[in-house]
Structures are given as structure tokens and as C-alpha cells.
């Protein structure tokens, strides 16, 4: 477990998305409460729990959104902004980002 305090990080991340011109349109019609819960538990599972992510697969969720490389990278940048805002140490940030990077091919354009 690298990081136990997912909630404030995810709230910062949502705030970043909400104020972003490049990627906000993807989230415009999403249920933000559902996204928040799902992202919190996914992040928790990704950082070695103890918790289980019970939502849909990354492929199932993102298929049809037509997410390109540029927008994927931009969302990762917004997450980095949120981690900076929450003063998460850089070694921890790097571990989180490297795990997310492994999911790239599940999320980009399918
Ligand atoms: C590694 C990067 C990413 C991860 C780990 C991730 C993870 C997730 C998770 C866990 C959910 C909620 C699942 C649930 O229903 O419980 C979700 C939903 C969503 N994601 Fe991603 N995501 C990533 C990248 C992106 C990118 C790059 C975009 C758009 C540019 C995006 C757009 C969305 C949208 C719009 C939803 C909400 C779908 C809905 O309305 O239900 N995601 N994502």
C-alpha cells in the first residue's frame, strides 16, 4: 500500500477535471458520485488495497469514448496536479502513475 488517503486526492482530481477545457466534455454527462466512488476504490485496489474494485473493467467503461493519446496524457497530468495539490511525495506519485500507465492500452481508442 503506497497511499491510504484516496478521497481528498480524488476530490482534487474531480475539481481539476471540472475546470479543464480539454477533457471536461468526456465527463459532462457522467454521474460524478458514481465516478468518484469507482475511482476511489479503483485507486485503492491499484495501490494494493486492502479494498476491492467491483466496478466494470477499464475496457468496458472507456470503450466508445474515443480517448486519444493526447487526452489520456492530459488526464494523467490532471491527476499529477491533484497529487501535487495534496502534497503527495514524488516517489509515491511515480508509483501511482506507473501503475496507471499500464492501463493505457485498455483506455485509449477502442
Ligand atoms: C489510467 C487512467 C484511467 C483510469 C485508471 C480510469 C479509471 C476510471 C474508473 C475507475 C472509472 C469509474 C468506474 C465505475 O463505473 O465505477 C472511470 C470512469 C470514467 N472515465 Fe476513466 N480512467 C482513466 C482514464 C480516463 C481518461 C483518459 C478519460 C477521458 C479522457 C476517462 C474518462 C472517464 C469517464 C467519462 C468516466 C465516467 C463514465 C460514466 O459516465 O460512467 N478516463 N474511469
The 3-state DSSP class for residue 20 equals: coil
Q: Assess whether the C-beta atom of 35 lies below 6 angstroms from ligand 1.
A: yes
Query: d(Cα 65, Cα 83) in Å, to the nearest integer?
Result: 25
Q: Are 75 and 23 in contact (CB under 8 A)?
A: yes
Distance 91 CA to ligand 1 centre (A): 24
Asked whether this complex has an ipTM greater than 0.90, the answer is: yes
Across the chain, the runs of DSSP E, i.e. the strands, are none
Per residue in 67-95, pLDDT (tens digit) is 999 999 999 999 999 999 999 999 999 99
Distance 61 CA to ligand 1 centre (A): 7
DSSP 83-108: HHHTT--HHHHHHHHHHHHTTHHHHS
Nearest residue (CA) to ligand 1, atom 2: 100
- What pLDDT is recorded for position 57? 94
| Rg of the chain taking only CA atoms, in angstroms | 13
Domains parsed from the chain with CATH numbers = 6-107 (1.10.490.10)
Number of C-beta neighbours around residue 78 at 10 A: 20
- The number of residues making up the chain comes to 110
Q: Assess whether the C-beta atom of 17 lies below 6 angstroms from ligand 1.
A: no
Residue ranges at the known binding site? 62
Query: d(Cα 28, Cα 16) in Å, to the nearest integer?
Result: 13
Distance 86 CA to ligand 1 centre (A): 21
Taking the whole predicted model, whether its pTM rises above 0.90 is answered as: yes
Amino acid at each position: 500500500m503506497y497511499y491510504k488517503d484516496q478521497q481528498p486526492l480524488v476530490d482534487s482530481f474531480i475539481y481539476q477535471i471540472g475546470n479543464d477545457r480539454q477533457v471536461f466534455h468526456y465527463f459532462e454527462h457522467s454521474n460524478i458520485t458514481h465516478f468518484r466512488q469507482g475511482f476511489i476504490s479503483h485507486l485503492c485496489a491499484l495501490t494494493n488495497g486492502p479494498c476491492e474494485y467491483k466496478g466494470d473493467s477499464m475496457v468496458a467503461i472507456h470503450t466508445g469514448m474515443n480517448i486519444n493519446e493526447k487526452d489520456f496524457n492530459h488526464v494523467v497530468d490532471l491527476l499529477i496536479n491533484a497529487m501535487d495539490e495534496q502534497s503527495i511525495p514524488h516517489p509515491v506519485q511515480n508509483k501511482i502513475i506507473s501503475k496507471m500507465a499500464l492501463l493505457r492500452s485498455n483506455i485509449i481508442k477502442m
